[in-house]
Structure 1
């Protein structure tokens, strides 16, 4: 058994573990975000549906959790998906979507904590502290999921590109031309 054959079960276990750990983290992100609301007697109620960026993160987290479940099942049932490139492309797409939704929420959190004095937006977290704290926790969970998908994208890239021979260097090419 070669060293790459002995690494495949470990790689498969790490891959499946990451995919399965992403599911509860994504569900927790969705739950924290969707149930997040706070009422202030002076300024009124704020809830997640008031922010397009939070809605986007909820949608992407739901897609991520569903994909992670299907991909985890597919890695153990060989007849469902045997194409490494399919995981590679899918993992890349999900990772990029997770990054974009995280960036949108990060901007909302930044504005909520700091405001924007140039356009006369004051910070809102002194009035809506509970809302801001839950949003921050949801963003942290989302960031952990992003990190998991970056690792998954690297694993799937390794699987795809290990199927091919490495390209010849100029030194190797000169040696093959001499013979």
Structure 2
């Protein structure tokens, strides 16, 4: 009986060790991707806010032969205010998550402590992703109106005299949509973590 015990290969122990090693590598690569996404999302959110709040311009435009001074600033539009507020909130969310995950990585532990934590991250990433999509869409509508004017009326294309302002707004909106995409990718990673947990 002693010989049988000694000659039995430890298949279970080896397989268990391999599975544990694979699981650790999967979670470690997830942690690295999660931190990278948070860092890029924070950068995109900050860029969206900074570019938008610096969007202002003075110029003149011709309307029915009269030169009229025009001035535009991001704070004149509720949609642009909304974009700044949501982008700033998404940036704060990304910063807090980045600080928490960095602390966990320094402790050499998984950045997600439990399934509840993963579900909370998934829900918050979804909320901010939809909010970023919403504010980007609202700001896009106003920007499109500024570029095209209103058909069948005398409202002109304001982006001709205020091209720098409109370009800055467009860049800010692009960063907002990029931030939305990154938050959506973070949600996908949360689902991957939950399925592998």
TM band (smaller chain): 0.7 to 0.9
Which digits, 9 at most, give the CA deviation of each residue in 1:67-104, with x for residues without a partner?
00111222244499631111011111111111101111
CA distance in 2, matches of 1:76, 1:114: 46
Counterpart-to-counterpart distance in 1, 2:23 and 2:80 = 42
5+ residue gaps in structure 2? 1-17, 61-67
Which of 53, 60, 69 aligns to 1:34? It is 53
Deviation at 1:115, TM superposition (A): 2.1
Would you say how many aligned residue pairs link Structure 1 and Structure 2? 163
Offset, 1:120 = 5.0
Distance 1:24 1:106 in 2: 21
Name structure 1 gaps, 5 residues minimum: 164-179
Larger Rg: 2
- In 1, Cα distance between the equivalents of 2:155 and 2:112? 50
CA distance in structure 2 between the partners assigned to 1:151 and 1:95 by the alignment = 9
Contact 1:91 1:156 in 2 (8 A): no
Which residue is equivalent to 1:55? Answer: 81
TM-score by length of 2: 0.75
Tell me what 2:31 maps to.
12
Deviation >4 Å, runs of 4+: 78-81
**Pair 1:106-2:125 in alignment:** no
